[in-house]
Amino acid sequence: MSTAYVLGDAYDKYRGQSDSALAAVEGTKALVWQSLASVLLPGFAINRVVALASSLAAKTKTTGLLGRFGPTGLGLASIPLIIKPIDCAVDAGVESFVDPLLQRFFAPNAEPKTGP
């Protein structure tokens, strides 16, 4: 489902441009951004929270419902806390690294964007 969302958003950004070079830049940028910010980094962050909580539960010999479902609950509870930092980091990474590469590859003679 997440892959369909990422591909659909990238296609939407690609399709929304009249210039083919700009369409390639915007579509690829959306694909990279959504892959990182919506799938890979949140999955990794939540996995690490659950792994740490599971390890802590095992070391403290926590049993019952808390020992069994506590780590998963903490992973789910971490979602609202990780969204903004991940989005900001991916924005900065895309602006610093991906945008210049895409502009150089797809539109080497285009005027650079200025302003927001």
> Where do runs of H (alpha helix) occur along 1-116?
2-15, 20-34, 41-59, 64-77, 79-93, 99-106
Distance CA 77, CA 103 (A): 38
Q: Is the pTM of this model over 0.85?
A: no
The domain ranges of the chain are 2-106
N-term to C-term CA, the chain: 32
| Confidence check: pLDDT of 42 > 60 | yes
pLDDT-based confidence at residue 110 (cuts at 50, 70, 90):
low
Residue 61: CB partners within 8 Å, gap ≥ 6? 67
Per-residue pLDDT at 12 exceeds 60: yes
Distance between CA atoms of residues 73 and 82, nearest Å: 15
Distances (CA, A) of 12 to 15, 26, 30, 55, 93: 5, 9, 9, 42, 22
- Which amino acid, 13? K
Specify the 3-state DSSP secondary structure of 27: helix
Whole-number average pLDDT of the chain: 89
Render pLDDT for 67-92 as a digit per residue (tens, 0 to 9): 888 999 999 999 999 999 999 999 99
Q: Give pLDDT, residue 17.
A: 84
